[in-house]
Each structure stands twice: as C-alpha cells, then as structure tokens.
Amino acid sequence: MNVFRTSLVSGIMLAGCLISLSSHAQDTATQKNMKGLDPKLIDATADPCVNFYQYACGGWLKQNPIPADESSYGRGTELDDQNQLVLKSILEKAASGGSDRSANEQKIGDYYATCIDSNAINEAGMKPLQPVLDRIAALKAKDELPELTAYLDSLGIGTLFDFSTDQDYKDATQEIAEFDQPGLGLPEKGYYDRTDEKSVKLREQYKAHVARTFELLGESPAQAQKDADAVLKIETELAKHSLSNVERRDPQALYHKMTLASFDSSTPSFAFTRYLRALNTPQVDSLNVTEPKFFIGLNEVLTSTDLDSLKTYLRWATIRRTPGTALPQALDDESFNFYGKILEGQPEQQPRWKRCARSTDRALGEALGQVYVAQRFSPQDKQRTLELTHDVEAAMSRDIDQLDWMSPATKIRAKEKLHLVANKIGYPDKWRDYSTLEIVRGDALGNVRRSAAFEVKRQINKIGKPVDHGEWGMTPPTVNAYYNPLMNDINFPAGILQPPYFDARQDDAVNYGDAGGVIGHELTHGFDDEGRQFDGSGNLKEWWTPEDGKKFTERADCVVKEYDGFVAVDDLHVNGKLTLGENIADLGGLKLAFLAYLDRAQKTGVDLTKKGDAEYGGLTPEQQFFVAYGQGWCQNNRPEDLRLRVQTDPHSPEEFRVNGVLVNLPEFQKAFACKTGQPMAPAKRCAIW
C-alpha cells in the first residue's frame, strides 16, 4: 500500500537517495558543533571559478571518508546523525519504563525496546510469520486472490499492486481511492530489461538473493532456485507493463478516473470489488487508476501464471516487505547483503539501535516527534523560519513581475497560486492520535504489522472524505523537506531547521544561502515542470497560455540538455529528464533565496562589499551566501550508490546540485569575479525563474 506518493511529492533529499536517509554515529558519539558556514571545510587550493564544489567542500570531503556502515556520507547525513542521538536518548528513556510514562511514551519505548532485543527475535524464529505464510499456502484457486491480497495489504504487505487514497487530481478538496503499480524487488523498471553487462550481473545477483532467502525459509537448493526463477519471471512481466520513473513524472499520465464497475470489468482475472469489500473500505463508486495499461497487463500475468508460482511470489513479497529488524538474523543479513552491500556498496550493516530508532520513527513518527520537538525546536525557531519563508515568497512575487518571457495573463495566475501556498514549519498543529494502535513489549513482528495496519486503516478511512490540509507527510525529526502540488504547501520538518541548514548563530547571508535555498527549492517545485500543471487549489488544471507553456518547455529543455552532459560515475550520465523538476527547483530556489537576501541586506544596512572576519573566512556577504549553499551539499558517495541514484533518483548528485546551479547564475559570477568563459561562468546559461 502506497501511503505517500513520491512521484508527485517533491523533496529536497538532503541526505542522499530515495531509498533511505542513512546515518552514522558511534554509540559513544557526542553532538557536533556544526555551522552553516565553516571556513575549515573550504579547499583554498581550488579556484571557485573552475570548480566551486571542490572549493566549498574540498576540506569536508577530505575530513569525512565514508564510514563502513554507509553507502554515502554528507552534511545531511551528518545532521541526521545528531538527530539519531537525540532520538536514541528519548527512546532509551521511554524504554526504561516507569508509571510516569504517557501513553505515547509507552508505545515508542516498548516498540524500540522490543526491536532492540534481537535475541528474542532470533529465538522466536519464523513462528511469528507463520500465520501469514500459512494463509498463502492455503490458497486453493486464483479466484481467491482478491481476499488474500486484501488480507496481505491490510498488514502493509503490498503484492500485485498498490492501493491507497489520494486527493482527486481534478477536485483536490476530496480524497478518492487509488490503484497504482507496485514496488518490485529491484529498484525500477529498467533494472529488469537493460542488457548491459552490469545490469545482467545485478539481475543474477538478485535471483541468487531470492533463492538464498527461500533456502533460509527451509527449501531445498533446487526448489529455492526454481522459486527464484518464478519470482523473477513474474516481476519482469509486471515491470514490462509498468511506467518508468521518467514517465511517472508526468501527472497527466497518472490520472485516469473511472467508476469501480468499469475498472472491475477491465480485469476479469481479478475481482477488485471483492478486494475492496475484503479490505473493508468505505464505499467506493469512482477511483483513480494511475496506469490502466498496467492493470490490463496484470490481468494477463494472472491468467498466464500458474497458481504455485503466484503463491511463491506472494511468499517472496511477504518476506521482502517485512523489516529486517523484525526477522531472524540470517534473513536480516541476507537482505542487507543484496540491498546494502551489492546494490549500494555499503560494507557493513548499521548498528541495531539506529535501525530501531528509524523503525520507531516510521511506525510512530508523530508520537516520537512530539517529544523531539519539545527538546529541539523552539517557538522562536519557528518564527524566524517563517519570516525567512515570507522573504523568499516575496522575492518570487517580484521575480514573476520581471520575467520577460511570461505574459501578463499567466503572471496573474502564477501570483494567485503563489499567494495560496501554505507554509508548514516544524511540526503539525494537531498531533496524530495513536490511541487505537496496540504496541506489545516482546512482540517485534506484531508491532510492525499492527503499526502498518494502523496506517493502512488510517489511509483507507479517508476515502470519500474532505482533504485534511493539516496532515504532514514527513515526521518532525526528518532531515528533509517537500512540496505537495495537490495541497499546494511547502513543508519543513524541525529536523532540518538546525545547523548546518539553519544556524541562528550566524549572519543572514549564511541562513539565506542554506535554509533560504531549501525554502526556495520547495517553493519553486510549485512552478517546475510537474508542479506548474496544478493550480493554486491543487487541481490538475491548465492555467498557462499556450504560448507561455511553450516558452517554459523551451527553457526547461535547456536544463535537460545541460544535466544530460554531466557524468555521474563511470559511463553513466545524469538523466536530465528524470532530474528536471529537482534541477529547476535547485536553480530557481537559489535565485529566489539570493534575491530575498539582497532585499533583507538592504533593509538592515549590510555592506555587501565588506569582507567578514575569520568566522566567515574573510568572504563578502554575497560570497558567504554561495559558500553556505555549497557546503550544505558536501557529500562523499560510493560508486555503487551513485549508479543506483542515477537510475532511480530524481535528484542529481551533489556536485551538480552545486556547480550545475551556479554556472547559471550571473550573481555568482559577479560575487567571485569569475571571467566569462571560465568553467563556472559560461557565456550561455539556462534560466526559467
């Protein structure tokens, strides 16, 4: 069940790839004194006009090799480390028990304590999972699949498709049911059909991983190999009928509203009406089918695949969708061996406490977040961030006025949308109610399943109801941010609003370069190639004149071609189409932040020609702005992780999120007195906002 759509919701992704935000911190680690701008991180031997990323980050890159339990390590990960230590302290206190614990503290404490107890999980073995496996084994005919998949979905085990709820793209005030293609064992459709040597080898490694997993479940090597072949065959067929991650960037391609009766009749091999009845959803009359062609293909797969192979696939999906922290050690290690070591190049598994803190955050994020916010995010922090946000929004309003390629009619609509953007900062105004979620100390898998079932029920109960605009899609400790086009809101969790991204101790130039750049990034998502297709109320609706839409596309094509030219790793280039929205947001967002800073500097009487003291590396305020932005993206990456990201992640690698942006800003060229023709000051630039 897809409870938070990543194909439309756009995040800054400050700590790496889409699969996870990883952290590295020894159990004995202490809180670091990070800064928004730190001269010690600069590589003074590098010329900022030749390679600004090396100039701003060279010192940090040298001082911070990738830890063994990481696939990459950057400033976002560094901050996430600090958050994890805070969460660890909160969770250990809650886990210690005591009659003074609140109901939420009992839940987060018992969930964490149970997750940490690997000995008990190993001793229980497969027994907690057996009822689910037995239910699959009892499948007697394909006609029983609707009830079985509903049962699995109710536990958070997605199998043949994803079902959830979402805002109606054409009526964003209402929640409707939605069917989507499923996530598969490999990261993206292309992994199943690419024929280059590395891709072929990776598929063989994946099949071997599936076979080893079945062996750990008690199968003979021969049967396990046969079952792995069946899994790969089914997943390959499902991938064939799926949209690629580039195709999924077009919201028009993901909206096909139809009646339930019409949808059900298009898939005679699977009764979706019975599925919904078994899942006990509210009444569904109409729904969105993101990809009708996928479900026609699914119908073909169900028709042509034998029952035993389908049962094998469902067993595999059950194991794959179960967190390793709730499984016996051998299964946990096998999962890490493929998804961590092979796919991401990560040599070692992370310490269990980090993984359990993360699992608790996923299951009970707002219960844990409420305690976190009380310790780490003050009302003053919220107010200062809100002021900065208003400055960036005002800069965008002025920027729209001066655009020479946009007509007055479209400018009016653009400013209408801008003024309707809602700002969510730090944490929700109303915390989620977990009173119906039972967490039992000592029942690790049960806690995982019940928390997943709680979220599934919470989601499907929205069907047919008005949209709750107060809802958040990220938890307060998260080091990230996002824009939601259907809500038309920008969201900044408390976790990211601290050094190095927001540093109340340093000057405005630093904070506008760091936090301002993040705010501008999310705001610009409302006007990137995806976001611009939604109006101020969140509806998928054309509000551009045809001529302005054409001009936007021409300018966006410049960005696509520029990023297509960047080599990320080995023979792989950045995918300009996949990363277009994020690249537009980076470019437009930093420009807006700079305009906002210039306005703030003028109001406060800042001398932009005066060099700062040693704390600011002797840089002028404008130079401080750009260095602070650059240092926010310092990151070392393993080649395996870069390959994965280039093929799946809509965000460009960090070097290009710095250099690829700054080469397009004449303000940067002026600040560092770069000569036209130098690598960071090309004669031709891309510009939209």
Q: How far is CA 352 from the centre of its chain?
A: 22
385 phi and psi, to 5 degrees?
-65, -40
Q: Is the peptide bond before 146 cis (omega within 30 degrees of 0)?
A: no
Token output for 676: 């036209």
Q: Is 153 a catalytic residue?
A: no
Task: Report the distance separating Cα 59 and Cα 511, nearest Å.
Answer: 21
CB 553 within 8 A of CB 480: no
Token output for 310: 């389908």
In 130-170, where do the E strands start and end?
A: 162-168
Token output for 81: 């480390």
* 177 three-class SS: strand
Q: Is 542 a catalytic residue?
A: no
Closest by CA position to 69, among listed 355, 362, 329: 355
Torsion of CA 457, 462, 464, 469, to 10 degrees: -170
* 458 three-class SS: helix
Give exposure, 275-295, as e/b (b: 16+ Cβ within 10 Å): bbebbebeebeebbbbbeebb
Q: Which of 334, 508, 522, 548 is catalytic?
A: 522
Task: Report the distance separating Cα 209 and Cα 211, nearest Å.
Answer: 5
422-426 and 489-493 strand pairing:
parallel
Residue 507 one-letter amino acid = D
In 211-308, where do the E strands start and end?
A: 257-259, 286-289
* 9 three-class SS: coil
Report the chain's terminal Cα–Cα distance, integer Å: 36
Q: How far is CA 417 from the centre of its chain?
A: 24
Q: Which of 105, 361, 586, 641 is catalytic?
A: 586
User: In which region does residue 153 sit, left (phi positive, over 0), alpha (psi from -120 to 50) or beta (all else)?
Assistant: alpha
Task: Report the distance separating Cα 304 and Cα 241, nearest Å.
Answer: 14
CB 516 within 8 A of CB 597: yes
| Residue in the structure block whose two tokens are 């911070």 | 64
Name all contacts of 252-256 with Cβ < 8 Å and 24+ positions apart.
Answer: 252/533, 252/540, 253/291, 254/7, 254/8, 254/169, 254/180, 254/288, 254/290, 254/291, 255/169, 255/170, 255/288, 255/290, 255/540, 256/288, 256/289, 256/290, 256/291, 256/292
- Total length of the chain: 689
Active site residues: 522, 586
